[in-house]
């Protein structure tokens, strides 16, 4: 009986020993990597590596996206160029919005966009504001355009001199009979002051005069086309690419005879309201911005210029 009790005591001690040994192993196991932070073969936490890779991927994604803002005249061209560029370059994004040349240039000055689209050159005040912000506006020519003067197809007037056009828009001429038309009041349609076309027209046609106070202001070129197409007494001015059969384009005479706006007369400079269209960048373009501008000025990009309705750069 005594021997049996000794055997039971020894077995009990062995069981207790095994229990404590198991608890010790479990404690050591709990000090290892948690299920949410496994280690690589080199012992570095995989979670930290994933964060670093995510940051790199985020930077790469940002570099594959640029934004353009500005001229309503340039808008259809910039949109067409961006669409074709993105079709050929999967994963690269070009965002294009309008608002007017002044709006685009202001956005470039404030560092909000990569490219300001403009139908006029940046002015001295804008250049000064850019310098104060550490921005160096650089002009990139992308196409040619002509500011065309349009009336309703029912209007009998086909030609205007610059003096007549100036009189219509400064308010000194208010009836179509004074320029060879019917005895009807002239309804002058104009772009808003943020438009590059507005400023070019004021500089080249009005010679600095103010626009007539009763001119109807349109925020977009399409608004001018719509108004003139519906009003037989209206007159407006638009970019060459916006011409269509709903309106009638006028020949202009600046003193050397009437000239019809055509691709040829605009390219040669014979048409008196010929001009260039621009992309403005902060200094020399680089990265995706340069890649896109190179595409626009390439043979394929210039073919798109023609398709949209503007005039490609001379080669």
Q: Residue 60, Cβ neighbours under 10 Å: how many?
A: 10
Domain boundaries, the chain: 66-144+277-308, 145-274
Residue 106's Cβ-side half-sphere holds a number of Cα atoms within 13 Å equal to: 10
Q: Which helix (H) or strand (E) holds 117?
A: strand 115-118
63, 288 contact by CB (below 8 A): yes
Among 309, 305, 312, residue whose Cα is nearest residue 78 = 305
DSSP 59-114: HHHHHTEEEEEE-TTTHHHHHHHHHHHHHHSTT-EEEEE-S-HHHHHHHHHTT--S
Same fold for the pair 66-144+277-308 and 145-274: yes
Q: What is the pLDDT of residue 185?
A: 98
Count of residues in the chain:
315
CATH number of 145-274, picked from 3.10.20.30, 3.40.190.10, 3.40.50.1100, 3.30.360.10: 3.40.190.10
pLDDT (tens place) for every residue of the chain, 315 residues total: 444 434 444 444 444 444 444 444 444 433 443 333 333 333 433 333 333 343 334 444 455 999 999 999 999 999 999 999 999 999 999 999 999 999 999 999 999 999 999 999 999 999 999 999 999 999 999 999 999 999 999 999 999 999 999 999 999 999 999 999 999 999 999 999 999 999 999 999 999 899 999 999 999 999 999 999 999 999 999 999 999 999 999 999 999 999 999 999 999 999 999 999 999 999 999 999 999 999 999 999 999 999 999 999 986
> What region, left, alpha or beta, does residue 74 occupy, with left being phi > 0 and alpha being psi -120 to 50 degrees?
alpha
Q: Which fold has domain 66-144+277-308?
A: D-Maltodextrin-Binding Protein; domain 2 (3.40.190)
Q: What is the pLDDT of residue 29?
A: 39
Q: Which helix (H) or strand (E) holds 230?
A: helix 221-230
Q: What is the pLDDT of residue 112?
A: 97
Looking up tokens 């011409």 gives 243
Q: What does the alpha-carbon distance between residue 276 and residue 235 come to, in Å, rounded to a whole number?
A: 23
Q: Identify the DSSP state of 176.
A: G
């Amino acid at each position: 009986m005594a021997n049996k009790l000794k055997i039971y005591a020894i077995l009990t001690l062995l069981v207790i020993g095994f229990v404590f040994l198991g608890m010790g192993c479990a404690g050591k196991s709990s000090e290892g990597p948690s299920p949410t932070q496994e280690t690589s073969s080199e012992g570095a936490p995989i979670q930290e590596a994933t964060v670093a890779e995510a940051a790199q991927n985020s930077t790469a994604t940002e570099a594959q996206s640029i934004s353009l803002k500005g001229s309503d005249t340039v808008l259809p061209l910039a949109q067409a160029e961006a669409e074709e560029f993105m079709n050929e370059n999967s994963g690269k994004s070009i965002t294009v919005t309008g608002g007017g040349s002044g709006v685009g240039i202001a956005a470039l000055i404030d560092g909000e966009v990569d490219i300001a689209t403009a139908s006029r050159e940046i002015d001295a005040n804008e250049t000064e504001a850019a310098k104060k912000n550490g921005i160096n506006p650089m002009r990139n020519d992308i196409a040619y355009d002509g500011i065309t003067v349009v009336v309703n197809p029912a209007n009998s007037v086909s030609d205007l001199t610059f003096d007549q056009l100036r009189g219509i828009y400064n308010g000194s001429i208010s009836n179509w009979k004074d320029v060879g038309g019917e005895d009807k009041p002239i309804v002058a349609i104009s772009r808003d002051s943020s438009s590059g076309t507005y400023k070019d027209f004021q500089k080249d046609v009005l010679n600095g005069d103010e626009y007539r106070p009763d001119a109807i202001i349109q925020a977009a070129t399409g608004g001018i086309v719509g108004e003139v197409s519906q009003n037989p007494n209206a007159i407006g001015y638009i970019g060459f690419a916006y011409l269509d059969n709903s309106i009638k384009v006028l020949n202009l005479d600046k003193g050397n005879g009437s000239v019809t706006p055509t691709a040829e007369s605009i390219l040669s400079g014979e048409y008196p309201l010929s001009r260039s269209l621009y992309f403005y960048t902060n200094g020399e373009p680089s990265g995706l911005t340069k890649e896109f501008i190179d595409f626009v000025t390439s043979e394929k990009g210039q073919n798109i210029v023609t398709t949209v309705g503007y005039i490609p750069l001379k080669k």
